[in-house]
Amino acid sequence: MIKISAAFFCNLVLIAAVAQGQENYSNFSGQLSRLSALSKSYPQLTRLTSLTKTAGGKDIWQLTLGSGNVDQKPAIVIAGGVEGNHVLGTELAISFAENLLKGSGSDSIKALLAKTTFYIFPNLSPDAMEQFFDKMKYARQGNATSTDDDRDGRSNEDGFEDLDGNGKITWMRIESPVGDYKTHPDDVRVLVKADAAKGEQGKYLVRSEGSDNDKDGEFNEDGAGGVWFNKNLSYKHPSFTQGSGEFAVSELETRAVLDYLYDRFNVYAVVSFGSLNNLSNPYTFTAATATQPRVASWLEADVKVNTMVSDLYTKQLTAKDAPKTTEAGGDFLSWAYYHYGRYSFSTPGWWVPKTKPDSLKNEKAFAVDDVGAHYFRWVAQQNLKPEFTEWKTITHPDFPGQKVEVGGLDPFALYTPPFNLVAGIAKKHTEFLVKLAALQPEIDIINIKTEKPGSGLTRVTVDIINKGALASPSKLGERSYFVKRINVKISVNGNQSVISGRKIQVLNSLDGYGSQKLSWLIKGTGKVVLEAGSPTTGSKTIEINL
């Protein structure tokens, strides 16, 4: 396993500060500038490649970090931009590369890059993410493929309109006797669902800001922004839903990424940044779905690994109250486990903290535990300006005679932290990824024993062990013929022969810190060569004197 010095983590504090020299989140051209700078500054440790171009003409960049023969060493995939509205994920992916490379002169990072390869996909949704930087800002998810999301025979005919002209798409609240929303009892800026079971009556209908252009009763359901990367993958593809695409892996970028990864047999873990979260909230084992012939939940041994890695993550971040999420299908997190057979982890990287009332300000616990209310209290406690548009009355042609107001929380507010926090968040995630790499499976051959039973024979006994905490492969990976196993081969010369035991054999898996004893009976004298390994464990070769 990789040993990490205390000095290494101290260096990361300074490195992160340097890496985050820009004043705000990077747009597509800014991201490319940062990636190109790394490629030029560290040519021996990086490889920058464009896998394809999206429908919008933007490159899907892939950055490889490592020394030596990178494709022959155990590897971790790091993916940002799996969701087009999650700009923080791209920052974390690029910052990880910057942090590591700026410290590559240290012995710790040299050892890490000599032992582990990192395949980084900084931005898998570049078409959508540019909307964050556009003159009309809204939380776009889809790429530039033209789609007919409402299945009415027309494409992109019902998009967003900036009705109040502030450059942001927020919300409309429409006073209605059948409304299902009301104002939060502790903060009138926030809208919450009325609880009919408690006899609560709503006051507002809530819609995204815009008009019903195609007069089908829906608002902004078929605008620019076509297929979502995180809904276009093959596991439980949510066909015929907005953003899923005409079929699984229909897009240039999804196919290019999957083709690339299926050729990388050395990948043992995938970490993605997006709204899904099994790092703060690990999966639980569900026998009813995990034991079906068609596995529908994580296998028990893999759940234990998820829990172990989750503990590592939560201790590193020291952040609590992470939102619980449920995969909708077609997502990268699920694909990487169920269809790629690797350990797969995902995190949003940041979320609105649950706040405690300030007794000095006579604050009280919220009557309704709502993320919006926590957001406003948190920004006040941090002396920050909230990302909020004051409610403003407008005349809306789709609601004659009704009071319509535009405003509310700005797009991205609840999952995109102020940029001055990003350096610290990136530092913690860099440290976590380094610690995750220290758990990687690693093959070794120990307890070598030779015995002479007579008649020119030698019995050779060894233990093939996994020095890492992670199994190789994952338990689900064992069930896939595509994931490579551990190959053990004993080579003899012309004067030697193997009497018992197999010259070549395959071990289905080795658990974390697990071992398997093997034995051969060999006739002859001299030396034999024993080699054991797989793409995800590396290999070990020894000579044994008969």
CA atoms within 13 A on the CB side of 437: 28
Residue 155 confidence (pLDDT): 52
Residue 12 confidence (pLDDT): 43
Residue 293 confidence (pLDDT): 82
CB 41 within 8 A of CB 234: no
CA atoms within 13 A on the CB side of 168: 16
Mean pLDDT by 10 residues, the chain (546 residues): 43 42 87 98 98 97 97 98 98 98 95 98 97 94 80 58 93 95 96 93 94 67 77 96 94 98 98 97 94 91 98 92 91 98 98 91 91 96 95 93 95 96 97 98 98 95 98 94 95 94 95 97 96 97 96
Nearest partner of 530 among 451, 469, 463, judged by Cα: 463
Residues 379 and 278 in one domain: no
Please report, for residues 323, 488, 498, the alpha-carbon distance to residue 506 in angstroms, rounded to integers and kept in the order given: 42, 6, 17
CB 421 within 8 A of CB 95: no
Residues 287 and 377 in one domain: no
Span 473-498, pLDDT tens digits: 999 999 988 999 999 999 999 899 99
Residues 108 and 212 in one domain: no
3-state secondary structure of 63: strand
CB 208 within 8 A of CB 172: yes
Residue 329 lies in a domain: yes
Residue 41 confidence (pLDDT): 97
Residue 146 lies in a domain: no
What tokens appear for 281 in the block? 């909230």
Residues 22 and 65 in one domain: yes
CB 98 within 8 A of CB 34: yes
Residues 326 and 264 in one domain: yes
CB 520 within 8 A of CB 450: no
Q: How many domains does the chain have?
A: 3
Residues 465 and 379 in one domain: no
Residue 489 lies in a domain: yes
Residues 43 and 173 in one domain: no
Domain span at residue 184 reads 151-222+352-414
Residues 339 and 281 in one domain: yes
Residues 17 and 107 in one domain: yes
Residue 294 confidence (pLDDT): 86
Residues 397 and 466 in one domain: no
Residue 1 lies in a domain: no
